[in-house]
Each structure stands twice: as structure tokens, then as C-alpha cells.
Structure 1
Amino acid sequence: AALNRLEEIARLLESGEAPLEESLALYEEGMKLIEFCNTKLNEAAKKVQKLTRNSEGEFQTEPLDSAESPSSDTEN
């Protein structure tokens, strides 16, 4: 639902038809939704584990390397 609303906000802002006051409100709502989505994505990334084989050929799990997990590139 949050991602759908974010896409809707992007369409509204890109159309340029919204008045300035409404555009500012949409922008603020969009920024809050981006933060929400990033938080959810980071929480999900913490739950992901990598399946590997040990030296005996048995499967084991280990945490996904932080370099492989999604980062918050949108944060300044």
C-alpha cells in the first residue's frame, strides 16, 4: 500500500497539475513513505540468510554480508 501511494504521489508531482500547497504536502507525504519503505526493507534484509556448504559438504546458514544487503542510499 505504501509503495502504491508513493507511485501515485510521484505521478501527481510529475504531472505538474497540483497547486503549490498541494505539491508541498504531497512531497512531505512522499518523503515519509520513503522513510517507511526503507525501514521495512532494512528490517527484511536483516532476516535474509545465505545458504552455504561447510567443508564437510553440509548445508549451513550465515548472515548475509552487509555489502550484499540493501543500503539506505537515499539518506543524506
Structure 2
Amino acid sequence: MAEKKMNFEQAMDRLDEIVRQLERGEAPLEEALSLFEEGTKLVKKCSAQLERAEQKVSKLLAGPDDTVQEKPFSGEAQE
């Protein structure tokens, strides 16, 4: 599957597979370097997708007059 066509979940699955292969230590040097390079690209791709998703997330809170106000998501739980 081409890296550009992968969705986030597919990229994470592939990254997990690469990590398992590298941890086994059975790949020849050239293959290990290629896997490492592919993994690095996937990490960058996933990080960028997460950053874009975080920017889109907003938390809805009830306003003082019972209207709904949209507030940026801070990532921290508020009581």
C-alpha cells in the first residue's frame, strides 16, 4: 500500500509492524535502514495528521444565557 494513500490508522498499523521488525533485529542492514526511513516518514505523517485534527477539535460549553458557545479544545479536562 502506498504511503500517501494510507489513512491514519493504516499508517499507525504499518509503523507498529516496522517497529516489531526492527526490534527482532533479523533484517539485514540495508533493509533495516529502509524500514527506519519508512518509519520516520510515517511518524511525521501521523504527527501532522494529529496536529490538524487537534486544530479542528472544539469543545462546546453552555453560555450564561443557555446558548451554546464554541471554545477551542485545550486538551485538559475542565469541571
TM band (smaller chain):
0.7 to 0.9
Where does structure 1 differ by over 4 angstroms across 4 or more consecutive aligned residues?
none
Task: State the secondary structure of the residue aligned to 1:55.
Answer: coil
Equivalent in 58, 66, 78 of residue 49 of structure 1: 58
1:59 aligned partner: 68
User: Structure 1 length as normaliser, TM-score?
Assistant: 0.80
Task: State the secondary structure of the residue aligned to 1:50.
Answer: strand
Per-residue deviation at 1:58?
A: 2.5
Count of matched residue pairs: 67
User: Structure 2 length as normaliser, TM-score?
Assistant: 0.77
Structure 2, unmatched stretches of 5+, are 1-9
2:40 aligned partner: 31
- Write the letter of the residue equivalent to 1:43: R
Identical columns (%): 46
- Write the letter of the residue equivalent to 1:28: E
Per-residue deviation at 1:60?
A: 1.6
Equivalent in 3, 9, 22 of residue 13 of structure 1: 22
Whose helix proportion is higher, 1 or 2?
A: 2
Measured in 1, the distance between the counterparts of 2:14 and 2:73 equals: 30
Over residues 37-57 of structure 1, what are the superposed CA-to-partner deviations in whole Å (9 max), with x where a residue is unaligned?
000011111110011111123
